[in-house]
């Protein structure tokens, strides 16, 4: 399979319907063997970035006029073409990320489900459309006919994530939701899975032909330097950005977008510590089970999920001691493993080392010693609530298989921790129904810190559905008003428009009086 | 009445339920007589700004828990208290802005209507709530129960507008929509109508008492220096900003918000030239009437409406000559008049002078000469489409009674102008139904440049209703995804939250399965 892939990969960019560029800049990398793969890729020049953005701008005037049904067909065609090439796509992703095949097959399925969810929403809109009817008799001035709809923002730049080579990358949630909204897309492929990006782009290319879409509706530019990203987000034709990645890079790009002559929305899904609050009753009854689930969840994808549970908040005592004992036992047997990229591994190592050297921190347990230098060990540490509250360095996300247990003196201190949290993608409250009812203040405090509040479940495994919210107050995301998962994600790339006194025959279909979603006033 | 007002005005800030500060920093100003009024006001110190923001933060935890019905009561109470004091409020506004009493009475009515519109929406929500029901049988993994609602963002800073002392100020659209969303508010009073702000704040104070709301739910800080504004938008407790004003000041504050450790949404409604496209058929049939309406609309509030029609685009010829002749006639009889502030008057004078000195510009007509130095003359100029397209300085908004007529060689050039426009709050296309149907490209091009596209009506007179959009692509506003007028304005101050696996008894009311707005999947 690897040879087949090598024959298929050009290493080029896909710009305005053509494959272009010199594939001599960087190689794919196998994080498991810690060695380069002989798949080579181009690094986009400023000119190539501008070509992709300009093509997206030109295609926008055609693509925005496609009906919702035509866009839905296109999204479904992309899903179909990905499914048709799933073997090569998952093999490439497996080689480039080291993630297990089963996980990658699941992620491919999720990517296709996501494309189809937006198609469903385009075919059966869920949003009302407000129409205020004219009233020529109104005094002192007649009332005009006004009708509220939405328009797509324009070309969108998408930055794929290292940890989800399919569902949050080339044809992932950002691309799918932008295309659903009527926007054209330029993807900057993540260098950690450039071949996967190219194969997925091939699937999109086929769907473009099959659905007779404008060539520039989707472009892929490859790159391994920050200059490519900077050139893309600062190009005048780009009207919004979708990004999944680190706070550090996300903030740099976000600042660039805000400083443009025309500032544009930047949707960065940046990460989170996803705190787990364990109330006393449930902890006492299920300490061992909770600890086992915690370790399982924090080990998913070797801790490289943005919803990985990196903080546990609980009250000291006998039950917590049992929790810690089970955690220790579960962790101790775990092997060290490779991470997604050498950069992620070394950042994890450095953050973990700083944590272990922190005077307030006690080690709970670590997994087995690393056999290879690029392997990292699952780890859990503990710290008192008092120390946690005054040490912002303990509150930062550590991207990888690590959890910080915050030991509280009492339930009041758990509330204090909740109130001191930074913005989070998720947090979970574990408690039996009776004790949950006794902690309305804690529930409310947690809700105001998160995009998704969970009860008695782990945060990993974000459902693709209409009611999902994957986002949260800064620094979990750069724009808490938006979600990057779920069908509402397409709202990020729309803006309202009011049509006043427009002749009935010229009105967009969704605003005609016979549309069942119209609410007239 | 002026004496009564003087006795009632403290000149102080209203912070956390108390009137405070030294009223010795600046005076109200009468733009008609061009002289100070003996009403004196305080300039908030950084400490006072921080007190207001901190009080808003403390009050937020109580106010956010009020039911939608309680918030609706509060908004209606504010409207009632304003109505009860309308005589003093309009008298103060008349003195401070020079706007006619009838206009100010209308604007007070509009302010109250606006408060009540949000109350209506709170009592009868229009938005669906998505609920994905649990499916424990789903393979390979069970599906959780997820439900999507919204939460208020937190304390909001509001900057009132010079040109709408009531509807876009202290209890105007930004304040009303923020309070409706469940946010607390700190208003920075506009120094051009500080007494009006204080009287409106008195009304809000009474409503706070009557409805038993937390003291810090609303604060007013007075100020005439940029430092007050800077301190407010950079205070950590402030989570969003509503602003109506100039592009220059709006951009400064927007940049400050983006550069914060925690960036926050900045909703700036900044202004617009609101182009009027005159198609040939209607121009030929109604040249005189169109010119008369144009002059009437551009003279409303002496041109100081953000929807003032500042650009007219039409094809050269006999009909346009008749249009110009009528425009000249109407303009020539108009008196010069005072503007809202000396600053606005001098900016208008300078911009107009630059325009008249521009080599590509020909004067059409001006109103009568100014008798007083602080009076400004209504003016119309013309320029060729070719010159307009290459001169960005001709495309800028001139805040005041001025219009630029862009003379096109043909209809294709009108489309070129539409495509070259910057973002606008509104634009109007004037045409009979037959010719409108023949110009789909022009309509589409204009739609993508504006927040509201109008047919055969002037843009002035923004309706307060559910289907309104008052915003638009930059630089019309800093965030095209939002409206500052209409009931959707409250969405600016909300963000989504997903409740996963929450016990039914603890769910917020809007997410309970028996809520008729719930759509279950």
Specify the DSSP element, H or E, that contains B404.
Answer: strand B402-408
Nearest chain B alpha carbon to A131: B467
Contact A521 B467 (CB under 8 A): yes
* Domain boundary assignment for chain B: 2-270+478-498, 276-455
Contacts A148 to B, Cβ<8 Å: 466-469, 486, 488
Q: Any catalytic annotation for residue A198?
A: no
- Tell me the CA distances in angstroms from A229 to A15, A18, A101, A253, one per residue in order: 16, 21, 30, 8
Pick the range with the lowest mean pLDDT from A228-237, A298-307, A435-444, B218-227: A298-307
What residue in A sits closest to B147 (Cα-Cα)? A467
Mean pLDDT within A191-198: 98
Cβ–Cβ of B468/A494 closer than 8 Å? no
Catalytic residue (one of A112, A183, A257, A306)? A306
Tokens of A513: 């009086």
Give tens-digit pLDDT for B315-326: 999 999 999 999
Among the listed residues B112, B183, B306, B402, the single catalytic one is B306
- Note the helical H segments in B333-448: 342-357, 385-390, 392-395, 411-420, 433-437, 440-447
Average pLDDT over every residue of A447-460:
97
Contact assignment for B455 to A503 by CB distance below 8 Å? yes
- Our CA-based measurement puts residue B301 at a distance from the nearest CA of chain A, in whole angstroms, of 17
Q: What is the pLDDT of residue A2?
A: 76
d(CA B36, CA A209): 70
CA Rg, chain A, in Å? 25
Chain B residues 264-283 within an 8 A CB cutoff of chain A: 265
pLDDT of B267-278, one tens digit each?
Answer: 999 989 999 999
* pLDDT for res B133: 97
Instruction: Say if residue B431's pLDDT is above 90.
Output: yes
- What is the pLDDT, as a whole number, of residue A3? 85
Size of interface A-B (CB pairs under 8 A): 202
Distances in Å between the Cα of B67 and the Cα atoms of A395, B62, B173, B232 are: 33, 11, 20, 28
Confidence (pLDDT) at B371: 82
Q: Is the pLDDT of residue B1 over 80?
A: no
What are the C-alpha distances in Å from B355 to residues A364, B259, B297? 73, 35, 21
The rounded distance, in Å, linking the Cα atoms of A348 and A399 is 6
pLDDT digits (tens, 9 = 90+) for A75-97: 999 999 999 999 999 999 999 99
In this model, does residue B428 exceed pLDDT 80? yes
A488 vs B148: CB contact, 8 Å cut-off? yes
List pLDDT tens digits, range A413-451: 999 999 999 999 999 999 999 999 999 999 999 999 999
pLDDT band at residue A181 under the 50/70/90 scheme: very high
**Is A453's Cβ below 8 Å from some Cβ in B?**
yes
- Test A463 with B143 for CB contact under 8 angstroms: yes
B506 inside 8 A of chain A by CB: yes
For the domain covering B276-455, report its CATH number: 3.40.309.10
What's the mean per-residue pLDDT of chain B?
96
Confidence category of residue A11, pLDDT binned at 50, 70, 90: very high
Residues B397-401 have a mean pLDDT of 94
In B64-93, which positions are buried (b, 16+ CB within 10 angstroms) versus exposed (e)?
bebebeebbbbbbbbbbbbeebbebbbbbb
Taking CB atoms and an 8 Å cutoff, what residues of chain A touch B511? none
In the predicted structure, residue A206 carries a pLDDT above the cut 90: yes
For domain B2-270+478-498, the CATH class is: alpha beta
Optimal mutation site among B60, B239, B456, B498, interface A, most CBs of chain A within 10 A: B498
Contact B447 A497 (CB under 8 A): yes
pLDDT tens, position by position, A22-38: 999 999 999 999 999 99
Reported pTM: 0.97
Whether the CA torsion B307, B310, B313, B316 is positive or negative: it is positive
Least confident stretch, A8-12, A299-303, B129-133, B430-434: A299-303
Burial of B505 (0-12, 13-18, 19+ CB in 10 A): exposed
Check residue A16 and give its pLDDT: 98
The pLDDT tens digits of the residues spanning B51-61 come to: 999 999 999 99
Mean pLDDT of the B97-114 span: 96
Q: Residue A174's Cα: distance from chain center in Å?
A: 8
Q: Would you give the end-to-end CA distance of chain A in angstroms?
A: 61
φ/ψ of B342, rounded to 5, equals -60, -35
Q: Indicate if the pLDDT at residue A393 is higher than 80.
A: yes
Q: In chain B, pLDDT over 90 holds for what percent of residues? A: 97
Question: Are B356 and B336 in contact, with CB atoms under 8 Å apart?
Answer: no
Distance, CA of A193 to CA of A41 (rounded, Å): 11
Predicted pLDDT at B34: 95
Which tens digits make up the pLDDT trace of A339-363? 999 999 999 999 999 999 999 999 9
B462 confidence band (pLDDT: 50, 70, 90): very high
Query: pLDDT band at A100, cuts 50/70/90?
Result: very high
Beta-carbon-side half-sphere exposure of residue B340 (alpha carbons within 13 Å): 23
pLDDT reading at A1 higher than 80 = no
Note the pLDDT of residue A370: 82
Burial class (CB in 10 A: 0-12, 13-18, 19+), A440: exposed
Query: CB–CB of B323/B291 below 8 Å?
Result: yes
Q: Compute CA distances B66 → A344, A475, B122, B384, B489, whole Å.
A: 45, 27, 12, 58, 19
Split at pLDDT 50, 70, 90, the class of B139 is confident
**Distance from C-alpha of A471 to C-alpha of A482, rounded to nearest angstrom:** 6
A451 with B144: Cβ contact below 8 A: no
The interface residues of chain A toward chain B in range 373-432, judged by CB-CB distance below 8 A, are none
Helix (H) or strand (E) holding B311: strand B311-315
Does the pLDDT at position A257 exceed 90?
yes
Min Cα separation A147/chain B (Å):
5
Active site residue A269: yes
Suggest the residue from A500, A511, A516, A520 to mutate for an interface test with chain B (most B CBs closer than 10 A): A500
Q: Which residue has the higher pLDDT, A234 or B370?
A: A234
pLDDT, residue B372, reads 86
Q: Least CA distance to B458: which residue of chain A? A: A500
pLDDT for the residue numbered A165: 97
Q: What is the mean pLDDT of residues B128-147?
A: 95
Return all residues near B374 (Cβ < 8 A) that are at least 6 apart: B31, B34, B338, B339, B342, B345
Give B292-343 pLDDT, tens digit per residue: 999 999 999 999 999 999 999 999 999 999 999 999 999 999 999 999 999 9
Q: What is the mean pLDDT of chain A?
A: 96
CA distance B509 to chain A (A): 14
**Measured between CB atoms, which of A457, A497, A506 is closest to B469?**
A497
Name the CATH superfamily for A2-26+47-127+150-270+478-490.
Answer: Aldehyde Dehydrogenase; Chain A, domain 1 (3.40.605.10)
Strand B18-20 to strand B13-15: parallel, antiparallel, or no bridges (unpaired)? Answer: antiparallel
A466 touches chain B (CB under 8 A): yes
B495–A478 CB contact, under 8 Å: no
Nearest CB partner across the interface for B457, out of A263, A465, A501: A501
- What pLDDT is stored for residue A377 in this prediction? 95
> In angstroms, rounded to a whole number, what is the distance separating the alpha carbons of residues B403 and B275?
9
């Amino acid at each position: 399979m690897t040879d087949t892939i090598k024959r298929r990969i050009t290493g080029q960019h896909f710009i305005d319907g053509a494959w272009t560029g010199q594939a001599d800049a960087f190689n794919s990398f196998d994080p498991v063997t810690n060695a380069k793969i002989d798949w080579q890729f181009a690094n986009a020049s400023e000119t190539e970035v501008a070509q992709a953005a300009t093509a997206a701008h030109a295609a926008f005037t055609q693509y925005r006029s496609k009906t919702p049904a035509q866009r839905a067909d296109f999204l479904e065609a992309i899903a179909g073409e990905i499914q048709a090439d799933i073997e090569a796509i998952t093999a490439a992703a497996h080689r480039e990320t080291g993630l297990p095949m089963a996980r990658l097959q699941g992620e491919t399925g999720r990517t296709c489900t996501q494309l189809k969810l937006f198609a469903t929403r385009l075919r059966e809109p869920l949003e009302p459309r407000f129409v205020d009817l004219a009233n020529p008799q109104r005094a002192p001035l007649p009332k005009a006919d006004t009708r509220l709809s939405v328009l797509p923002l324009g070309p969108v730049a998408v930055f794929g994530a290292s940890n989800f080579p399919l569902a949050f990358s080339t044809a992932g949630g950002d691309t799918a939701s932008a295309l659903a909204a009527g926007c054209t897309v330029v993807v900057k492929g993540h260098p950690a899975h450039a071949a996967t990006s190219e194969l997925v782009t091939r699937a999109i290319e086929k769907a473009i032909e099959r659905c007779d879409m404008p060539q520039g509706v989707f472009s892929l530019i490859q790159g391994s330097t920050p200059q490519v990203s900077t050139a893309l987000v600062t190009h005048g034709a780009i009207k919004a950005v979708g990004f999944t990645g680190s706070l550090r890079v996300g903030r740099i790009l976000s600042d660039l977008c805000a400083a443009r002559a025309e500032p544009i929305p930047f949707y960065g899904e940046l990460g989170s510590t996803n705190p787990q609050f364990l109330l006393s009753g449930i902890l006492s009854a299920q300490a061992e089970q909770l600890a086992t689930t915690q370790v399982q969840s924090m080990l998913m994808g070797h801790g490289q999920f943005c919803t990985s549970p990196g903080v546990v908040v609980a009250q000291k005592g006998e039950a917590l001691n049992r929790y810690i004992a089970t955690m220790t036992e579960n962790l101790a047997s775990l092997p060290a493993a490779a991470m997604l990229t050498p950069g992620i591994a070394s950042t994890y190592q450095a953050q973990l080392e700083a944590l272990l050297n922190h005077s307030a921190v006690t080690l709970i347990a670590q997994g087995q010693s690393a056999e290879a230098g690029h392997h990292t060990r699952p780890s859990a540490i503990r710290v008192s609530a008092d120390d946690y509250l005054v040490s912002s360095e303990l509150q930062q996300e550590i991207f990888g298989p690590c959890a910080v247990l915050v030991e509280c003196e009492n339930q009041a201190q758990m509330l204090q921790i909740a109130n001191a949290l930074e913005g989070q993608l998720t947090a979970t409250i574990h408690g039996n129904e009776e004790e949950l009812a006794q902690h309305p203040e804690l529930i409310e405090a947690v809700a105001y810190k998160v995009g998704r509040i969970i009860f008695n479940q782990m945060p990993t495994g974000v459902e693709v559905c209409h009611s999902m919210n994957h986002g949260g107050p800064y620094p979990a995301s750069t724009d808490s008003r938006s979600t990057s998962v779920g069908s509402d994600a397409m709202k990020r790339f729309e803006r309202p428009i009011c049509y006043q006194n427009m002749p009935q025959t010229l009105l967009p279909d969704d605003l005609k009086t016979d549309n069942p979603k119209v609410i007239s006033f």
